Amino acid sequence: MDTQHLTQVTDTQWRLEPQGPMRVPGILFGSQALIRDMDDKVREQLANVASLPGIVQAAYAMPDAHWGYGFPIGGVAAFDPEEGGVVSGGGVGFDISCGVRTLHTGLDRAAILAVQRELADALYYRVPVGLGSTGGIRLDDRELDAMLAGGARWAVSRGYGQPEDLDRIEERGRMAGADPKQVSDQAKRRQRDEMGTLGSGNHYLEIQEVTQIQDHAIAAAFGLELGAVVVSIHCGSRGLGHQIGTDYLKRMVLAAGQHGIRLPDRELACAPLNSDLGRAYLGAMRAGINCALANRQIITHLARKVFMEVLGVDLTLLYDVSHNTCKLEEHVVEGRRRKLYIHRKGATRAFGPGHPDLPESLRAVGQPVLIGGTMGTASYILAGTAQSQELAFNSACHGAGRAMSRHAATRRWQGRAVQNELAQRGILVRSPSPRGMAEEAPGAYKDVVEVVTATDRADLARLVARLEPLVCIKG
């Protein structure tokens, strides 16, 4: 990115001053190297977001930001419905509530290595993975609507998990305000056979070892210790979320003129929050969030069965976080408490210590912020900070962030070669797609160490622990 258009505020914060139709500034977080390597389209997209009606304070880009559909991925923006604020399908994204959950195993590296291949094969066999994959659960119309209204709570009520899981999931496992009637029949058809599946792309189930503790007090509160092994699951709302995005983006583009909205980019299609279309999208999007929460809950159930069968241990949930959402939250802006709709596209909610929406067991230290890796590089666990509320509406990065397109990655790497190279490093990967392996090659992503270091230095979230992969089931 050409930094001549930016003003450096701190060593990890950069400001794009309002110009043209921009209503607020753009704020980018990242080290000089991360900002320099960002695509110029991130700045252009951030300026477009800053031009939308009712935006509050600024449009933000997290340190892992890269070019996305309309909003940059790693983008955060708040809108006030009382000031004409909007909800944008492009600001949520197609994989609604794609997110990460991490589970404790109570095991160490040696226990995993003794059965590493058996464990990898069993997880790959039990958890459906790949483009268009289907699972063993079939939902009729009534159960599908119950799932869309109930999220992980529905899954637990049907035997997929334990009631104590719910306390460790955003929204206690169920996003309120979901309206299954606003989800199209086509979206429901796409999801009917896909519950409990990982999908493709950057989705994964990974067994990881804690190889570094940065903040021992918070790590202890999270139940993490050096040498412990955890399981992380990254996936979302599958075909249903994608279809909701497709359906409503078309409607929002067509209706923009009726609402007096001038779109700087058709991909930023949006509707006023206080409009029938805006409310309908929120109802459908919240149903998509519940679908993702239920999906990760069912995959957790499948992984638990494997660990019980192979190692005789149960898994306990550390936390589940979502990306790609728009949520109503209360924030203080210029000394005034306001209810705002926070878009986080490829960004993680990161509530700081004392936040009332956190479970009591975590409230003293802040929310776990789970940062995904790339099969071959580390993942990280951070904690929300008190400062992040003022900095970016309690938001942080969500992963390493792509450094090149999937098409470019397939020109540079071959899937089997990537898999073999990782095996030589002791990381067993199981995937149905050599092309997918090439698209997701670790080299196609930014340096995750640089990203989490910048996030920590910017006070968006506090670095707690580093995780390194031992087994990866890859979409």
| CB neighbourhood size of 340 (10 A) | 25
Active site residue 242: no
Q: How far apart are alpha carbons 43 and 27 in whole angstroms?
A: 9
User: Cα separations (Å) of 354 from 151, 363, 368, 426?
Assistant: 26, 5, 13, 40
Q: Which letter does DSSP use for residue 84 in this model?
A: T
Cβ neighbours for 427, distance < 8 A, ≥ 6 positions apart: 375, 376, 469, 470, 471, 472
Q: Which helix (H) or strand (E) holds 470?
A: strand 461-474
Cβ neighbours for 143, distance < 8 A, ≥ 6 positions apart: none
Q: How far apart are alpha carbons 418 and 471 in whole angstroms?
A: 14
228: left (phi over 0), alpha (psi -120 to 50) or beta: beta
Q: How far apart are alpha carbons 227 and 447 in whole angstroms?
A: 23
For tokens 């099969």, what's the residue? 375
Q: How far apart are alpha carbons 475 and 463 in whole angstroms?
A: 28
Q: How far apart are alpha carbons 407 and 384 in whole angstroms?
A: 35
Q: How far apart are alpha carbons 328 and 333 in whole angstroms?
A: 15
| CB neighbourhood size of 311 (10 A) | 17
Between strands 99-108 and 204-213, the pairing is unpaired
Q: How far apart are alpha carbons 221 and 216 in whole angstroms?
A: 9
**C-alpha distance across the termini of the chain, in Å:** 31
Marked catalytic residue, from 66, 104, 398, 407: 398
For tokens 């880009």, what's the residue? 61
User: Cα separations (Å) of 320 from 103, 124, 292?
Assistant: 9, 22, 11
Residues with active-site annotation: 398
